[in-house]
Amino acid sequence: MPIDEPRNLPGDVPAGAPGAPRDAPADLDALVASWRGWMQRHDAVNAADLDELESHLLDTVDHFVSAGLTVDEAFLVAVKRLGGVDDLSREYAREHSERLWKQLVLSGDDDGPAGSAGSALPGGDAEAAGRRLPWYRRANGLPVALLLGAGAGLAVKAVELATGDPSTVALNIAVIVLPFLALWFAWRRRPSIAVLAIVGVVFAGVGLALNLYPFIGSEADEAGTTVAAISSATGILAMLGSIVALWLATGLAYVGDDWRDERARMDFVRFSGEWFVYYVLIALGGGALSMLTVAVFASIGVDVMPFVGEWVLPLGAAGAVLVAAWLVGAKQRVIENIAPVLTKVFTPLFTIMMLALVVAALVQWNLVDASRDLLIAFDAVLVVVVGLLVYSISARDPLLPPGWFDRLQALMLATALVLDAIVLVAMLARTGEFGFSANKTASLGLNLILLVNLVWALRLQLGFLRRHTGFAALERWQTTLLPVYFAWAAILVVVFPPVFGFA
């Protein structure tokens, strides 16, 4: 019989039944094992979260036992109280302990406080008292995620219709969409007002900079590059910087008041990686569905491409940001099974690709004449590699000893370091020959940050392989750099445009 079946719990014996006195000693370990087994079946709670919740649960049990309650009574009160801070615990309390609670304390009164028992329920929480979850909390908050996703999509279309300028939408895409993600975090994780105020200030500052600077009036940059209908080089950099800066600012709403805690920051990194995987999957599925829809309607002489291009894709792309965020929480265990596989598949592939790039770069050494697009491609590879490294660190069990995959990561770091040095040499040479520009300066800054990251990460990785340093040092180093990335992204948004004349 499963250990988490309610009828197997020591306290799940009808009060007053023969041979089952109400004050019979309870096996706390069995009760906790039942609670933990039930929680583990739900994908939204990982092992670290569960350990923390269990710690809170046991502390509360100790408190009530010292106050005079029996162990089983203290356990039930603790579960109810835990339900006030966690939806799953609340659901556990509703499904499992309500009946026991009635038998032991409430005496059949669903809603009333029932003396000391009622005072244990947080704020008279009706859900914790056993009522059905409200509609907006069902399915792990899916209705709220869908509403916010629809809001994000409609906001994108509203700005496009109001301005009639696609470049304005592209420039402000992070300012338009990510507030809805911040609202999702605010609803799910309930950060303090001070944290939300900081997030709001960052969004307002970035929004003002993007819309007060005269990017749109600038002509195409010297190379004639246009990205997402934006022809200004500083405008393109500001758009990219705003996405990074506001994503990290949204992460502040995710970690809340624990923003100083490196584990909380790494948890946000893990969320970002999982969100990216889900978003790509949704994009691939949505793209395939859109193409099939266009093809099917075209076969009967109906052209739906304008509708799909102008409405479905913008609304879907913005809404998928929220749906992917919901999926991370709802299907966390599934993605945790996928993440180690993805990192083990792509780490060797990227290592091989970078080794080939290093060889090709050394064979064709005259990188001063290398095209700007090639150097941008090198930078993109380095950014992806660092992202892959951080994601693999977040997905790794820190208690495992170093193994073959850690040695492979050390090789990947060494290769990336060589590639970054080659790109830096090329960028310095191009800057010396052609002078500074917004793109070259931004690339130089990015490569310097990556160089520092890679050098120190390789040092820590080698120390971990030699068992001189713990794996926690690798996690700490990567989370320490998050404010650096935010600062550089903010510089791209605020400082670069006036310095380079909004060109």
pLDDT digits (tens, 9 = 90+) for 86-138: 555 555 555 544 444 444 433 333 333 333 333 333 344 444 445 567 777 77
Measured in degrees and rounded to the nearest 5, phi and psi for residue 230 equal -100, 125
Query: What letters, b where the CB count within 10 A reaches 16 and e where it falls short, cover 30-58?
Result: ebbebbbebbeebbbbeeeebeebeebbe
Higher pLDDT, 406 or 81: 406
Look up residue 232 and give its DSSP letter.
Answer: -
pTM for the full model?
A: 0.70
pLDDT tops 80 at residue 36: no
Tokens of 64: 């009530």
pLDDT in tens, 178-189: 999 999 999 988
Cβ distance 84 to 128 under 8 Å?
A: yes
pLDDT at 332 over 90: no
pLDDT per residue as tens digits for the range 142-166: 899 999 999 999 999 999 999 888 8
pLDDT at residue number 91 = 55
Using alpha carbons, list the distances in angstroms from residue 430 to 57, 75, 357. Answer: 61, 68, 19
Expressed in percent and rounded to 5, the helix, strand and coil fractions of the chain are 75, 0, 25
User: What pLDDT band is residue 346 in, cutting at 50, 70 and 90?
Assistant: confident
Top pLDDT among 254 and 434 is at 254
Per the document, the length of the chain is 503
Tokens matching residue 366: 């005259």
Task: Report pLDDT for 121.
Answer: 37
Short-list 11, 39, 1, CA closest to 99:
11
8 A C-beta contact, residue 470 and residue 450: no
Three-state SS for 431-479 is HHHHCCCHHHHHHHHHHHHHHHHHHHHHHHHHHHHCCCCCHHHHHHHHH
Higher pLDDT, 443 or 85: 443
The DSSP code for 20 is -
User: Cβ atoms within 10 A of the Cβ of 385, count?
Assistant: 24
Q: What is the pLDDT of residue 89?
A: 55
Structure confidence by residue, pLDDT tens digits, 287-308: 898 898 898 888 888 888 889 8
SS3 227: strand
pLDDT above 70: percentage of residues in the chain: 76
Contact 95, 47 (CB under 8 A): no
Nearest CA-CA partner of 160 in 228, 114, 227: 228
83: pLDDT strictly greater than 80: no
376-429 pLDDT, tens per residue?
778 888 888 888 888 888 777 777 788 888 999 999 999 999 888 888 888 888
Q: Which two tokens stand for residue 225?
A: 């590059």
- SS3 per-residue string spanning 397-421: CCCCCCCHHHHHHHHHHHHHHHHHH
Higher-pLDDT residue of 452 and 373 is 452
Tell me the CA distances in angstroms from 464 to 266, 401, 470, 472, one per residue in order. 18, 9, 6, 9
Q: Can you give the pLDDT at residue 454? A: 92
* Beta carbons of 75 and 60 less than 8 angstroms apart: no
Q: Which residue did the predictor score with more confidence, 498 or 33?
A: 498
Q: Which of 415, 429, 422 is nearest to 361 (CA)?
A: 422
Of 168, 87, 79, the residue nearest 127 (C-alpha): 87
With 80 as the cut, is the pLDDT of residue 259 above it?
yes
Residue 134 per-residue DSSP state: P
* Tokens representing residue 3 in the block: 């250990």
Query: Which pLDDT score, from 0 to 100, does residue 365 have?
Result: 63
Average pLDDT value over all residues in the chain: 78
Could you read off the pLDDT of 349-377 as tens digits, one per residue? 888 888 888 887 777 666 556 667 777 77
Q: How far is CA 182 from the centre of its chain?
A: 11
More confident residue, 248 or 422: 248
Q: Does pLDDT of 25 surpass 80?
A: no
Could you please report the per-residue DSSP string of 144-167? HHHHHHHHHHHHHHHHHHHH--HH
User: pLDDT higher for 370 or 503?
Assistant: 503
Which pLDDT band, with edges at 50, 70 and 90, does 201 fall under?
A: very high
Segment 218-230, tens digit of pLDDT: 554 445 567 767 7
DSSP helix/strand/coil, 15: coil
